[in-house]
Amino acid sequence: MSLALGLGAEAGGAPTLLAMSSETDTVQVDPRQLPAESFTDSDIARIQLVSAIESAATQLGQYAQMLGEDLAQAGDYVRRAATLRRLDEVVRQAVIAERVRGTSWETIGGALHMSAEDAEGQWGSSEASWRRETRATTC
């Protein structure tokens, strides 16, 4: 049996679903319906990261389709490119997931070609907010 994350949880959107499947059955579960103790902070951070990645991938796919099919109106190339700021959300969620699993700011900074201080300065408050909000919703 394997565990895959079925996605779709943008703000106000459908919940992120966990899909567990074997060769014969697939079961989808809304993680919000499971007891909070069913998930570690690392699980929650990874689910949110996967959701951010899927959202960004959808946007990139739509952009590529528009370009490939020459469906653009004047200004669409730039307008669509500007919506790709969702990639910043992917990086933010990735940093949070790394911090939750114990990765140092030095390692994160090195991976992003910046100092540990710059990395912490850029995403430290996001991590702190995430930890406060996650504790509040899982306690």
**Which DSSP string corresponds to 25-87?**
-EEEE-GGGS-GGGS-HHHHHHHHHHHHHHHHHHHHHHHHHHHHTT-PPTTHHHHHHHHTTHH
Predicted pLDDT of residue 17: 53
Predicted pLDDT of residue 70: 80
Predicted pLDDT of residue 6: 39
Cβ atoms of 56 and 86 closer than 8 Å = yes
Mean pLDDT of 119-133: 93
What digits encode the pLDDT tens for the residues 70-88? Answer: 878 888 888 888 877 778 8
Confidence of residue 100 (pLDDT cuts 50, 70, 90): very high
% of the chain at pLDDT higher than 70: 71
Integer angstrom CA distances of residue 26 from 2, 56, 62, 118: 10, 25, 28, 44
Asked if residue 102 has pLDDT above 90, the reply is yes
